[in-house]
Structure 1
Amino acid sequence: MDVLSDVIAVTRAGRARSAHVRWHAPWGQEFTSVPGSAGFQVVLQGSCWLLPPDAEPLQLGAGDVVFLPHGSGHTLADSPESLATAPACGPGDHQLSEPYASDTVDRSGDSGPVTTVLCGAYQLDPSRAHPLLLTLPDLIHLPADPGHRPELSSAVQLLATEVENPRLGTDAAVPALLDTLLLYILRLWFSEQPSQKTDTGWAAALNDPSVTAALHAIHQAPGSPWTVAGLAAEAGLSRAPFARRFALLTGQPPLAYLTWWRMTTAARLLRTSNAPLRSIATQVGYTSEFAFAGAFKRTYGTAPGAYRRAS
């Protein structure tokens, strides 16, 4: 798997949820902060304003996508004047009470302009958060751009159709489309960062061919006996320049990231498979089950067997 696919696979927990909601102006809705989650808002029809914490209101139009990777609280409203009267909406309220739902919120009859929003949330596991996600801003705004980002627009429309009109197979389609939407949001944000703003960090790392080659090698074969020299060869650089560049862009030396990914992979295998500990140790690069158990306990504070039983 490539790096971005792995990030989604290891960080997601539970089932993503979404809802198709229509409001008639005037309206306002506060979404409370939900630690351990990531949320999104997509305007399908009409327009609205988003008020993020400690920031100026942001006007949104049809086709705009907003992603909140850290579950930050925010408010949506038909106008800035409606923000002050917005009631709070938590993760258990109507918008996200089911894996998918079609609901209408009408706070003032049918006289005002209609705004239709696709909203949702991904449950994340903070203990498995990839450093790539930790460096994201509190709010990512991908404005509508006709003819641009066609894959994102297609994913939004497919998801909106399934959520608004559930049919046979919707229960399988919605989770897959939610993961696809998340993938496209992250892919586009990382690929569209201006070069002058990404001299360091994961956006720069994912756009750097040498570092990306080394990351792919680690993710594709965590059990290989990698050395800095071996990863440098994958990157097409000599050892010292590679080590400096990798650490500068990702924030970790190559072997520190390798160890972190091995332990993350081991934890996933312990949770999702019945493979023997010896087999898991081999898959993540340890020739000794004892050495693997020691490394795992240093990372997670518990032995692999106890971690599996608790999971």
Structure 2
Amino acid sequence: MDVVSDAISVVHLGHPWSHRVRTRGSWCARLDPYDGAGFYVVLKGRCWLLPDGGAPVRLGVGDAVLLPHGAGHVIADSPVDAAVAQEKAVPFEQWLEETGPRALPDRDDTEMLCGKYWLDCSRIHPLVAELPEVVHLPHRVGGHLELRAAIDLLAGELDERQPGSCIALPSLLDLLLVYMIRSWMTETTSGAWPSALGDPVTAAALRALHSNPAAPWSNDRLAVETGVSRPTLARRFTTLVGRPPMAYLTWWRLILAATLLRDTPDTLAAIAGRVGYGSPYALSHAFQREFGTTPGRYRAQAADRSADRSVG
């Protein structure tokens, strides 16, 4: 696994949700904050995104926007202020029910794709945490070709459900999330993690640790793997990642252990072996120090949260 794939996988829960909407005239909808990420892609017309506490974002044809931290927001036909939005906005779910495809599309319609990804925000990777509240990816001719292709495929799949849609739709939505994060990484000039993954030494070290986190890594072994001296590795890695290589490895092993506790029925002993701990006791001690709870309680709480989402 690579860092971006791992960063998404450890927080991703269940199947994403998507909808195609068509609306016209004056409209305004409100979505409250939630544990997850949301997106909009404008297929026709234009609209405005008004994030809580942020500047309005004008969205035109082909624009994509990702809200990676589930920020509350208003989506509207015009840049209304907060007071007007509070009065006019209908709940998002109600708006969706009112904006299904019409039999006779009008040239003044606004059409868009929207969706949600459910995320476990208790164990978010710093690469995902670093994403801004709003990632706006304006349409540019010749830009973000992979993202454009994913949008076209997703729109086509939502237009007409074909055999295999139950697999195709969530897969395309996951692909869309990856491409939106990729596009942000290629455009940002201030992100620490794009810099870390753009540095050949730090990227090589991260790739090694993520490829085999259970290996008996040491600073010396990792330095040999990356082809630089131990002091050079420590300096570059710590500067770009924010913690030394072995501290990052310890944290990542515990994040993986938490993911396995949440998603598998594996015993603590099996999980300890998979993430590089010599015994269940050693893993349990480190886990409680990091998360403030035992692995058993963490697994039970994760199961309760999953049951609550299923009921909701």
TM-score, normalised by the number of residues in structure 2 = 0.87
Inter-partner Cα distance in structure 2 for 1:261 and 1:73: 30
Is the 8 Å Cα contact of residues 30 and 75 (structure 1) preserved in structure 2?
yes
Aligned to 1:165: 160
Shift of 1:149: 1.3
Shift of 1:104: 4.3
How many residues align? The count is 298
Say whether residues 1:66 and 2:62 are aligned partners. no
Is the 8 Å Cα contact of residues 24 and 110 (structure 1) preserved in structure 2?
no
Aligned to 2:46: 47
Q: Which of the two has greater helix per residue? A: 2
Q: Where does the alignment leave 5 or more consecutive residues of structure 1 unmatched?
A: none
Is the 8 Å Cα contact of residues 224 and 285 (structure 1) preserved in structure 2?
yes
Inter-partner Cα distance in structure 1 for 2:257 and 2:105: 54
Higher mean displacement: 76-85 or 39-48: 76-85
Is the 8 Å Cα contact of residues 37 and 123 (structure 1) preserved in structure 2?
yes
Is the 8 Å Cα contact of residues 23 and 99 (structure 2) preserved in structure 1?
no
SS of the residue 2:100 aligns to: strand
Say whether residues 1:215 and 2:191 are aligned partners. no
Shift of 1:93: 4.4
SS of the residue 1:18 aligns to: strand
Say whether residues 1:308 and 2:307 are aligned partners. no
Letter in 2 for 1:89: P
Aligned to 1:192: 187
**Identity, % of aligned positions:** 45
Is the 8 Å Cα contact of residues 28 and 90 (structure 2) preserved in structure 1?
no
RMSD of aligned alpha carbons: 2.5
Is the 8 Å Cα contact of residues 52 and 74 (structure 1) preserved in structure 2?
yes
Letter in 1 for 2:91: C
Please point out which of 94, 100, 105 is paired with 1:103.
Answer: 100
Higher mean displacement: 23-32 or 218-227: 23-32
SS of the residue 1:163 aligns to: helix
Map Cα deviations across residues 75-126 of structure 1 (whole Å, 9 max, x no partner): 2222225983541434x5463x9xxx98249xxx988821101111111111
TM-score, normalised by the number of residues in structure 1 = 0.87
Is the 8 Å Cα contact of residues 22 and 104 (structure 1) preserved in structure 2?
yes
Is the 8 Å Cα contact of residues 20 and 112 (structure 2) preserved in structure 1?
yes
Residue 29 to residue 112, structure 1, CA distance change in 2 (3 Å): farther
Runs of 4 or more, structure 1, over 6 Å off, are 109-112
Shift of 1:303: 2.9
Aligned to 2:258: 267
Aligned to 1:282: 273
SS of the residue 2:228 aligns to: coil
Say whether residues 1:254 and 2:254 are aligned partners. no
Is the 8 Å Cα contact of residues 28 and 87 (structure 1) preserved in structure 2?
yes
SS of the residue 1:215 aligns to: helix
Map Cα deviations across residues 118-144 of structure 1 (whole Å, 9 max, x no partner): 111111111121111111111111110
Is the 8 Å Cα contact of residues 69 and 136 (structure 1) preserved in structure 2?
yes
Letter in 2 for 1:294: H
Map Cα deviations across residues 241-286 of structure 1 (whole Å, 9 max, x no partner): 2212212211222111101110111122223333332222122111
Q: Where does the alignment leave 5 or more consecutive residues of structure 2 unmatched?
A: 304-312
Is the 8 Å Cα contact of residues 22 and 99 (structure 2) preserved in structure 1?
no
Is the 8 Å Cα contact of residues 36 and 68 (structure 2) preserved in structure 1?
yes
Map Cα deviations across residues 164-196 of structure 1 (whole Å, 9 max, x no partner): 3223221211111111000001111112223xx
Say whether residues 1:155 and 2:146 are aligned partners. no
Aligned to 1:5: 5
Please point out which of 289, 293, 299 is paired with 1:298.
Answer: 289
